[in-house]
Amino acid sequence: MDAGKEQADEAEGLRLVRAFLSLPPDKRAEVIAFAEELARAHGQPGESEGTSPKGTSQR
């Protein structure tokens, strides 16, 4: 039963990644900014200003 749920979650994650990758670069930047804002709002650890994952620096 859990294996089916894990497979469904994995398939959904892959669909989200595919949708994200199909976006134009400016829309991808908007999605990344939105996700970072949500993470900050929820107090995720490692949220220090000025740090961002590799390849997502502001241009």
24 domain residue, yes or no: yes
Residue 54 exposed, middle or buried by CB count within 10 Å (0-12, 13-18, 19+): exposed
pTM score of the predicted model: 0.57
pLDDT at 25: 97
pLDDT per residue as tens digits for the range 11-42 = 999 999 999 999 999 999 999 999 999 999 99
The rounded distance, in Å, linking the Cα atoms of 38 and 47 is: 11
pLDDT band at 3 (very low <50, low <70, confident <90, very high): confident
pLDDT band at 49 (very low <50, low <70, confident <90, very high): low
53 domain residue, yes or no: no
58 domain residue, yes or no: no
50 domain residue, yes or no: no
Domain that holds residue 12: 3-42
Read off the pLDDT of each residue in 34-58 and give the average, rounded to a whole number. 70
Domain count for the chain, please give it: 1
